[in-house]
Amino acid sequence: MPLAASLDRLAQSAVCSVLTCRPNPSHVAFIMDGNRRHAEARRQPALAGHTQGYSRLIQSLEWCLELGVTTVSVYAFSIENYGRGEEEVEGLMHLAEQKFLHMLGEVAVLERRGVRVRVLGDLTLAPPAVRRAAEHVQALTAAHDRVTFNICFSYRHAAGGGRGAGASSEMLAAQDAAARHEPCSPASPPFTQGESARTGADRGPGCAREGPCASWRCHLAQAGTPPVDLLVRTSGERRLSDFLQWQSRHAHLFFSPTLWPDFSFWDLAAAVLSWQRAAPHLRETRQVAAARAAAAGAAGAAASAEPAVAVRAEPGVAVSAALPVEDGPLRQASEDGQSCEVESEGGASEVESEAGPGSPLLPWRATATGGVRVAAG
C-alpha cells in the first residue's frame, strides 16, 4: 500500500476512534446525487459515473459499519429514472443486475458482518433478471440481524402496491392499507423479543406484528426500521426529492457539495460531526413528540394522533418537506436571536398538497438565516 494511502487509513482510524467516543447516528440515509455530472466533467458516458458511484456506495457502507451505524438506506433508483434515455436505462438495469450478483458473491462477507439487504420499491417495473437477483440477495441475507442495508430501488412507491408521486402518496396509501386492516408490509422484518426497545422500530400504535394491522406506519416501505437520524445529500442540491420524508421527520439534514463518486470518509465524518452537534436539539424534538403521543391517552386516540413533525436546518439552508395539516398552523422558533421565514409553497391563503385536494399533507419550505427548528403544532 502506498505511503499516502497508509497515512490516510491511519488518520481515518484515529478519527473513527474519536467519533465513536460520542453517540453516533443509528440510521444514516444517503441521496446519492452527482453521478452523471461527475461523468460529464470527465467527458465519460453517464454509465461510468453510475459505476463509480456504486463503488463509493460500498465504501460508504463500510465506513458506516466502522462508525457503529446499524441501518443504512440509499436512494439508488427512482421510478422517474425510467424516463431517462433508453440506452442509459438499459445500462443502469444491467449495472443493477451485476451489482446484485456481486452481492450474492459476497454473501459470506455479509454474513460475517451480519448485514441484511432489503430492496424496497416496485421491483415489478425492473427487468426479470434484476428482480430475481434482488430477491435472491434478500432471501440469502434475511436472517442477518446486526446491520440493515436498505436499497431503495424503483422507489417513490407505496408499500401497499399503489404508485404515486412520492413519500406523500406512500403515506396516503399506507393509511388506506391500515383502514382496510391489511397485513403489515411484507418488507417489514419479523419482530423479535426486545426489538422495539433495541432499534426504536418505527411501527406505531395499533401494530399487530402479524396478520391484519391497523397501524399505517406498518404499511410504509421501511416499516420496522428505526427513524432516520442523519440524511446526507451530495452534489450541492438542497432538497429531499420526496425521499423518506416521514422516516426523516426528526433527522438532521446534511447537504454536501461533493459529487457522490467523490464522496470520501472525510465528507461522512463531517456529516456525523454535524449530527453530533445537533443531537441535543433532535433528542429534545423527539421527546416532545413522544410526550404528545403519550398525552393522546386512549388507544383509539393514540392510533390516529401522530407526533409533531420537525426539521432542523443548518444556517442558510432551504428545506422542503410535508407536514400533517391536523397538527395545526405552522409556527416558527428561532434560536440565538436569529430569524427565519416560513412560507407555504402553495401561497399564504390557500394550500393544496402535491398529492391533491383532501390530502392530509401540507407542503412547505423554510429558509433559515440562523440555526433554527421549524415545526407544526
pLDDT digits (tens, 9 = 90+) for 305-352: 444 444 444 444 444 444 443 333 333 333 333 333 444 333 332 223
CATH fold, domain 23-281, is Undecaprenyl pyrophosphate synthetase (3.40.1180)
Cα separations in angstroms, 218 against 2, 207, 271: 49, 7, 29
Let me know if 124 is exposed, middle or buried by CB neighbors in 10 A (0-12, 13-18, 19+). Answer: exposed
CA angle, residues 225, 330, 313, in degrees to nearest 5: 55
pLDDT winner (highest mean) among 175-179, 185-189, 274-278, 320-324: 274-278
Under the banding of pLDDT at 50, 70 and 90, the label for residue 120 is confident
Residue 3 pLDDT class (50, 70, 90 cuts): confident
Range 242-252 average pLDDT: 86
Domain ranges, ordered by start, for the chain? 23-281, 309-376
How open is the CA angle 134-225-321, to the nearest 5 degrees?
Answer: 100
Rounded to 10°, the helix 128-141/86-105 angle is 30
Q: Cα(51)–Cα(108) distance, rounded to whole angstroms?
A: 23
Cα–Cα distance for residue pair 346/147, rounded to 1 Å: 40
Amino acid at 40: E
Residue 299 makes CB contacts below 8 A (sequence gap 6+) with: 205, 206
Q: Three-class SS of residue 205? A: coil
Among the listed ranges 20-24, 118-122, 271-275, which one has the minimum average pLDDT value?
118-122
